[in-house]
Chain A
Amino acid sequence: MTISGRAQIPAHSEGNPGDKGKAEAMTTATKLNLRTLASSEELLAPGHRLCAGCTEPIVVRQVLQVAGPNTVVVNATGCLEVSTTLYPYSSWRVPWLHSLFANAAATVSGVEAAHKAMVKRGRLKEDERMNFVVFAGDGGTYDIGLQSLSGAVERGHRFLYVCLNNEAYMNTGIQRSSATPFGAWTTTSPVGSGTVGKSQPRKDMTRVMAAHGAPYVAQASPHLWKDLMRKVEKALSVDGPSFINVLVPCPRGWRTDVELGIGLCEVAVDTCIWPLYEVEDGRWRLNHKPRVKKPCVDWLKLQGRFDHLLRPENAGALAGQQGQIDDAWESLLAQCNAPQRGA
């Protein structure tokens, strides 16, 4: 414990993780090849306590591979935070700050503002561009942290906000959030004689962020790592706020086999439940179009949280679900195919 008594843990990697010469932040897409990645330093150390099969750390590693060691991470309360920093251990080889559940975006606003002040006053060098990255769950983003995020994006702070979207409050034991899809079982949207799981469709947070006019907004999935990392690269290059919503399957909360994680991502994209797209300075672009659009049953049947939807008596609800997905997909296609600003 340090003298000041605050939970403050030096990173425990061998060598100097902050050595700029060793692990340079990737700045060009050409570096996104497996050989470079395999030899570059891991900034999230192994030994954390996330569940077997959890996809959150995969995304964090992909993001940090691009962001590099000159990065400050702000983490909202949630699975990632509690599982990577159990005092006196820490998995983080970059500076990491956790304050609360609702305030990651406001907290990073302060970090970024202080950085600006110190550069302005000559206490930090301008040429060493520092990255500010937030990791927050869907609960910390769509729900309790929405105001904080909205404010920070509107003010235009330079930071990348990565939503680790596992479609529920997992850290507290699988409760619904506004990212939870229609029909999903959670402990606060249980399946009962009068309900088929969550009775509302999920909020479209990526669109909400795009509507803020943030210079870079995207949806990504870790199974298409190159796409995800290229998005991180773009996000970090803009001079303002950026937002990437990443689907992170949670075997525990979704009631799936542990080894399914990344495979589930692929199905989510192929069923158009999780389309990959980006909004760059207001221009919408689809990044991946499935060769064959699969029915949503292919997605639902892999997860215990949707079991009840496949029962004959719930055929109506299932059809409704497919209808919602189709409508959202058509609307996204229309948006991406429409004449784009500046194009």
Chain B
Amino acid sequence: MIASPSRLERKPALANQRLASLSGSLAVAEAMRQTNPDVVAAYPITPSTLMVEKFSEYVANRLVDTEFVAVESEHSAMSACVGASAAGGRAQTVTSSQGLAYMWEVLYVAAGLRLPIVLHCANRALSSPINIHCDHSDTMGARDSGWIQLYAENPQEAYDNALMAVRIAEHGDVLLPVLHTQDGFTVTHSLERVELLDDKTVAAFLGDYSPAHPVLDTRNPVTLGAIVMPDALFEMKRQNAEAMHNALRVIGEVGEEFGEISGRHYGLLEKHMVDDADLVVVVLGSTAGTARTIASQLRVAGMKVGVLRVRSFRPFPTQELAETLRGKAAVGVMDRAFSFGAAANPLFAEVMSALYLHGMNVPLINYVYGIGGRDATPGQLASVYRDLALAASAGSADPMVRYLGLRGP
């Protein structure tokens, strides 16, 4: 991630904001303070620990009056969130990697029970071998759990996503849990300039949460989490799919509304010099910064290149992505996780399907990079655009899957 100098100098867009120098972790902790959830249940794991620690300080110093449940595991963290959310409270947690994996069965419960829990995640490779650095294997492992997944590029966006996630999750047409994530260390531990909204603006933006059927309403008892047979489960899961589909619209609406109060507008995708580009790199998370810097340099050299950053991986903006890539000469898709044994890796599979569904046969290359925290360097991104230029003139790309920064083949 390379910050552009112009961003460092800018003043806050609006008077309701103040500037701070914060890491991604601290930015999210600040959003959590402002959200003041009813319940936070969390467990420490690198590189998300700082969020838990900072929030504990807020609790200790009464800057929030959240019930903080310092659970004995991530399984229990997500379980307590399920209990708290079913009770009618705003519930949040924080985790990474093994912690997310440890939550796995409970993630599905949260989505299946339609509980708008927010999970602040920091990406880290999954064991084994154990490694504490960033890749996306953890969140990709949860991609079919029914959670919305948003990927931030920098501390500012992590802060913004942490707030928008609450509104998206609780929207009546969605009612799904939201995981928003940032790259471990690269974002969680890098100090950057962040514009913070004032508490009043945040409170007004978030509003109150009052679910229809909390289990704490003993006057109107509900049975939640019943056993469901083949005669009904299918319909319920179909409704989950519908809610996820609705989220495509709601993420955009909430992003617009957030733009009005903050000056920072968010959609499902972020396009950088894509419109007139021939060669486009599709990427998640912090690597987009590096890609943009390289793309800008190559533009000066006369190459028509762009960067398409996917902000929402679930739901995946299939149609918008395909329309954006229509007419491109070649597309490179950057995956920071493997899907072992699959035709291609997770992000690539989505892009490939999107293009196929829209009748486009563009030369595509899948790059696996940054595994276990391996640096994603400017040189690698430059080589990607060079590859794409060759593929564009050849009209095809072989091999389809390539590795960046790997020693050996």
Contact = CB atoms under 8 A, between A and B. Distances in A.
B contact patch SS: mixed
Contacts of A19: 219
A70 B217 CA distance: 9
Contact of B215 (A10, A97, A102): A97
Contacts of A164: none
Given A90-B223, A102-B75, A113-B41, A95 B89 contact: no
Nearest to B217: A95
A107 B219 contact: no
B105 A86 contact: no
B196 to A, nearest CB: 24
Interface stretch (A117-125, A201-209, A228-236, A274-282): A117-125
A130 B41 CA distance: 21
B213 A115 contact: no
B15 interface: no
Contact of B86 (A69, A94, A97): A97
A7 B72 contact: no
A10 B89 contact: no
Contact of B75 (A8, A94, A115, A148): A148
Interface string B106-142: 1001001110000000000000000000000000000
A17 B227 contact: no
Contact of A114 (B67, B71, B109, B218): B67
A3 B88 CA distance: 17
A109 B113 contact: no
Nearest to B112: A6
Contact of B114 (A5, A112, A115): A5
B76 A148 contact: yes
A220 to B, nearest CB: 25
B72 A151 contact: yes
A16 to B, nearest CB: 7
Contact of B79 (A86, A95, A99): A99
Contacts of A154: 72
A100 B227 contact: no
Residue among B66, B80, B213 with the most chain A CB within 10 A? B80
B232 interface: yes
Given A9-B222, A154-B72, A111 B216 contact: yes
B39 interface: yes
Interface stretch (B18-26, B235-243, B302-310): B235-243
B213 A8 contact: yes
Given A7-B236, A85-B223, A85-B227, A109 B69 contact: yes
A109 B88 CA distance: 14
Contacts of A72: 87, 215-216, 218
Given A4-B239, A10-B221, A118-B38, A74 B227 contact: no
A11 interface: yes
Category for how many chain B residues contact A? 35 or more
Interface in B55-75: 65-67, 69-73, 75
Contacts of A17: 221
Given A69-B218, A81-B227, A93-B221, 17 more contacts: A5-B237, A7-B227, A18-B219, A72-B216, A88-B232, A90-B226, A99-B79, A99-B225, A100-B105, A103-B75, A106-B71, A114-B85, A114-B91, A118-B38, A147-B73, A151-B72, A151-B73
Residue among A100, A108, A155 with the most chain B CB within 10 A? A100
Contact of B218 (A71, A103, A107): A71
A110 B81 contact: yes
Interface of A: 1-11, 16-20, 69-72, 74, 81-82, 85-88, 90, 92-100, 102-103, 105-118, 120-121, 124, 130, 147-148, 150-152, 154-155
Interface in B81-96: 81-89, 91
Nearest to B77: A106
B65 A120 contact: yes
A15 to B, nearest CB: 12
Contacts of A102: 75
7 contacts: A11-B223, A95-B216, A110-B79, A110-B81, A110-B84, A117-B84, A155-B70
Contact of B220 (A10, A71, A114): A10
A41 B235 CA distance: 35
A1 B235 contact: yes
Q: Which 8 A-B pairs have the closest CB atoms?
A: A110-B83, A5-B239, A151-B72, A114-B89, A18-B219, A110-B80, A106-B76, A98-B225
Given A150-B72, A155-B70, A103 B223 contact: no
Nearest to A96: B223
B366 to A, nearest CB: 35
B22 to A, nearest CB: 27
B225 A151 contact: no
Given A9-B222, A96-B223, A115-B216, A109 B75 contact: no
B223 A111 contact: no
Contacts of B65: 117, 120-121
A117 B83 contact: no
A193 B76 CA distance: 42
B87 A7 contact: no
B79 A18 contact: no
A8 B216 contact: no
